[in-house]
Amino acid sequence: MKSLRNVVSVVVLTLLSGCGLAQSDAMSTMKAPAQTDAQKSFDKMKTLAGTWEGRVNAVPPQPDIDNKLVHATLRVTSMGNAIFHEMTGADRPDDPITMIYLDNDRLMLTHYCDAGNRPRMTGTASPDGKSVEFEFLDVAGSTQYGHMNHAVFTIIDANHHTEDWTYMEPGDKPMHAHIELTRTK
């Protein structure tokens, strides 16, 4: 009886290991799913990781930020699942934080604004793949002092990119800031 149990155990283990090998062979012949446009855009945005500096040009002119030097830091974080964007300078007392991430098949941006709110935007790549444009989706928190409404990141080359940010001031008056950035690290 004991030897019959041993034989059955060996046969079962052999069958199971054969199934595992067959399954692993089937898995190796399967193709990885094609990347979504959102994933491609996110991967392109990851190439901006590093430190940058440039000058702000605002329309209409804003004396408190116009032609001021800013520093931007972009860092891939959360095991590759998010991009942390921090901008400092322009003689501002604090630094707004922006997170860029994938939400299923959407590229998302959440801006933690110094106006005390958190607008969310959805991103779409330009047909040439050099720009990612973020359109306003919604906002959490008060918009009493305005809110960020639109952003465009344009990659010129490995060491240059531009950022365009549109802020909706109270009364829905847009203020546009254009920043030409050069990689410093």
For residue 72, count other CB atoms closer than 10 A to its CB.
23
In percent, the amount of the chain with pLDDT more than 90 equals 74
Tokens at 86, concatenated: 């921090």
* Per-residue tokens: 161: 């990119």
- Which one-letter DSSP state was computed for residue 35? P
Residue pLDDT, tens place only, 124-144: 999 999 999 999 999 999 999
Q: Domain limits of the chain?
A: 1-30, 38-183
Sign of CA dihedral 89, 145, 172, 60: negative
Block residue for tokens 């008056």:
173
Q: Which residue bears the tokens 């305005």?
A: 146
Digitized pLDDT (tens) for each residue of the chain, 185 residues in all = 555 444 344 333 343 444 444 444 555 566 777 889 999 999 999 999 999 999 999 999 988 888 999 999 999 999 999 999 999 986 676 788 999 999 999 999 999 998 999 999 999 999 999 999 999 999 999 999 999 999 999 999 999 999 999 999 999 999 999 999 999 99
User: Domain 38-183 classified CATH 2.40.128.20?
Assistant: yes
**In angstroms, rounded to a whole number, what is the distance separating the alpha carbons of residues 143 and 41?**
29
Q: Would strands 97-103 and 82-89 be described as parallel, antiparallel, or unpaired?
A: antiparallel
Q: Is the dihedral of CA 128, 98, 120, 33 positive or negative?
A: positive
Tell the burial category of 98 from Cβ atoms under 10 Å away from its Cβ (0-12, 13-18, 19+).
Answer: buried
Distances (CA, A) of 26 to 22, 32, 33: 6, 13, 15
Answer for the pair 150, 135: CB distance below 8 angstroms, yes or no: yes
